[in-house]
Amino acid sequence: MGKGRAPRDALRIVPAVHVHRPLTADPIHEISLAVHFASQSREGLIELYDRFREGSNGFDRMMRRILWRALAKGSGDAMHVGAGMQFRHLETVEIGHGVSLCDQACLYGWPEGYCRIGNRVWIGEQALLDARALVIEDEAAIGPGARILGSEQTIGETLIRRAAVIGANAVVLPGVTVGEGAVVDAGAVVRRDVPDFSAVTGDPARAIRKHTAS
């Protein structure tokens, strides 16, 4: 082992870039327009959203952000809503500050469900979140193509704890808790709870090491 290197079973995890992204308060005109929209019919707002859903210019991005604020149960500042982002039942979803929702991701709430997304959460391209009973804590990251699943037969919420990382194309099954700072390897299938500060891989996902926060 080279001088100064950490042992393989005690690796140090460095916070992701999205954790350090500056948070800037949304302009007052955006907030005012969102408040105005919120008094209108949800069906009309969803139709309006479809006009801006696929656009990549600044105006399209601004309108997506405004309409999400109007439709969601709660929404913080500095949210990014990527092109092609799809949703259902945003009225059941609370979103923190500095959340990034990347292109073609899907967030599917349920009429009797709930979803809480914390501050500085990053959700990658084409990720799918079944949000019938889902909590994602601050600074977590959901990789591109990952699937967070839900089920009517599952009792209890699916919980992604603070600073956890779900790798690309990984699958988290209903009712699972992924612990604080845990890392789920790309393509892993998580069928049971993942302990804090551990890394798991495979199908079914199994622990391969522990690590320390930075």
**Residue ranges per domain, the chain?**
77-208
Q: Which pLDDT belongs to residue 191? A: 95
Per-residue pLDDT at 118 exceeds 70: yes
* 94 or 3, which is more confident: 94
Per-residue pLDDT at 178 exceeds 70: yes
Residues in a beta bridge with 210: 10, 198
Per-residue pLDDT at 126 exceeds 80: yes
Q: Which pLDDT belongs to residue 11? A: 54
CATH of domain 77-208: 2.160.10.10
Share of the chain above pLDDT 90, in %: 80
Share of the chain above pLDDT 70, in %: 88
Per-residue pLDDT at 22 exceeds 90: no
Q: What is the mean pLDDT of residues 36-65?
A: 97
Q: Which pLDDT belongs to residue 151? A: 75
Q: What is the mean pLDDT of residues 171-178?
A: 96
Q: How confident is the model at residue 155 (pLDDT cuts 50, 70, 90)?
A: low
Per-residue pLDDT at 48 exceeds 80: yes
Q: Which pLDDT belongs to residue 3? A: 46
Q: Which CA distances in Å does 26 have to 16, 60, 77, 115, 206?
A: 23, 15, 5, 22, 42
* 10 or 158, which is more confident: 158
Q: How confident is the model at residue 13 (pLDDT cuts 50, 70, 90)?
A: low
Q: Which long-range contacts (CB under 8 A, 24 or more apart) does 79-87 make?
A: 82/125, 83/53, 83/54, 83/55, 83/56, 84/53, 84/54, 85/53, 86/53
Q: Decide: pTM greater than 0.75.
A: yes
Mean of pLDDT over the chain: 90
